[in-house]
Amino acid sequence: MRFYPLDKLINLHDDYLRQFKIDNHQLLLMQRLGERFLIEAHCPHRGHPLVSASLVNRSIECSQHHYQFSLDDGSLLQGREEPCRGLRTFEIVYQGNEIGVILDEEAAQD
Ligand code: FES
């Protein structure tokens, strides 16, 4: 397991939205109304980039087919026309003045 810094805390603000690539992981870090979320950057349905998704309360709605996922646990809230797994969410880790994520080094290179 290894800490991967994503950004300096001072850079985060409401409406912050930034995509990161760590080896084979593509992550999306966002802040809304003071809350921060870290999720996979592509929709589990058909892989559309979630950078263009809309946020409603504590959920995210993909702009492609409007499947909606909880930002808390990634569960699928809306959109069941085709089988779809939940959205992968990641725990945010703070280290000093940085915000980041802990990933399994092997998983990061999958
Ligand atoms: S690709 Fe996101 S809802 Fe279909």
Atom number in ligand 1 closest to CA 53: 2
pLDDT band at 109 (very low <50, low <70, confident <90, very high): low
pLDDT given at position 81: 87
pLDDT in tens, 1-57: 999 999 999 999 999 999 999 988 999 999 999 999 999 999 999 999 999 999 988
Atom number in ligand 1 closest to CA 50: 2
CA 66 to ligand 1 centroid distance, Å: 6
Residues pairing with 18 in the sheet: 29
Please tell me the total count of domains within the chain: 1
Whether pLDDT at 88 is above 70: yes
Q: Identity (one letter) of the amino acid at 49?
A: P
CA 1 to ligand 1 centroid distance, Å: 31
- Going by C-alpha positions, the residue among 47, 55, 28, 37 that lies closest to residue 85 is 47
CA 43 to ligand 1 centroid distance, Å: 6
CATH number at residue 6: 2.102.10.10
Q: Domain span at residue 36?
A: 2-108
49 Cβ below 6 A of ligand 1: no
Write down the pTM of the prediction: 0.92
Whether pLDDT at 62 is above 80: yes
pLDDT band at 107 (very low <50, low <70, confident <90, very high): low
3-state SS track over the chain: CEEEEEEEHHHCCCCEEEEEEECCEEEEEEEECCEEEEEECECCCCCCEHHHCEEECCEEECCCCCCEEECCCCCEEECCCCCCCCCCECCCEEECCEEEEEECHHHHCC
